[in-house]
Amino acid sequence: MTKLLVCAEHPHGPLKNGEGGCQARWGNDGMCPGVETANWLNGLGEDDDQYSSMKDVKNIDVRLNWIRNNAHIVPLDKELEDLKRLERAAQKELRSVRKRIREMIVKRVMES
């Protein structure tokens, strides 16, 4: 099992609003809000574990959603994130191929 770790995009602080490229420090005592969010995301279980009670949502889905949609969160290891993205795409394709194989077997059995 693996866990994609994330970190804040900007220097932690405390710093003045706008320093280090972070425009959201004013409401967080000078800290980039990505610090708290990264701690929460890294505290989730392994990537393949189910997230909370949400069916079909895994911890990796939650982490990637934050990475894609929040300017304050980035993967700690970009190369690892790229490899995991490729792995997920390959797994999705494999599921699709296996489904088509099952459908073809059922079709051939029904035809005979």
Per-residue pLDDT tens for 18-62? 888 888 888 888 999 999 999 999 999 999 899 987 778 999 999
What is the distance between the alpha carbons of residues 34 and 8, in angstroms, rounded to a whole number? 4
Question: Does residue 82 share a domain with residue 60?
Answer: no
Q: Work out how many domains the chain is built from and give that number.
A: 2
Position 79 pLDDT exceeds 80: no
- For 75, the enclosing helix (H) or strand (E) is strand 73-75
The fraction of the chain above a pLDDT of 90, given in percent, is: 38
Q: Which domain holds residue 47?
A: 1-76
Same domain as 58, residue 40: yes
Query: Three-state DSSP class for 98?
Result: helix
Structure tokens at 31: 């800290």
Range with lowest mean pLDDT among 4-8, 86-90, 97-101? 86-90
Q: Are residues 47 and 91 in the same domain?
A: no
Q: For position 56, what pLDDT does the model report?
A: 87
* The pLDDT value given to residue 12: 82
For tokens 């392994």, name the residue. Answer: 46
Higher-confidence position of 59 and 88: 59
72 and 83 co-located in one domain:
no
Give the mean pLDDT of the chain.
87
Same domain, 1 and 50: yes
Please check whether residues 13 and 1 belong to one and the same domain.
yes
Tell whether 17 and 69 lie within a shared domain. Answer: yes
> pLDDT band for position 1 (50/70/90)?
low
Q: Are residues 66 and 11 in the same domain?
A: yes
Whether 6 and 59 map to the same domain: the answer is yes
Q: Which residues pair with 73 in a beta bridge?
A: 8
Domain shared by 63 and 18, yes or no = yes
Q: Is there a single domain that holds both residue 50 and residue 98?
A: no
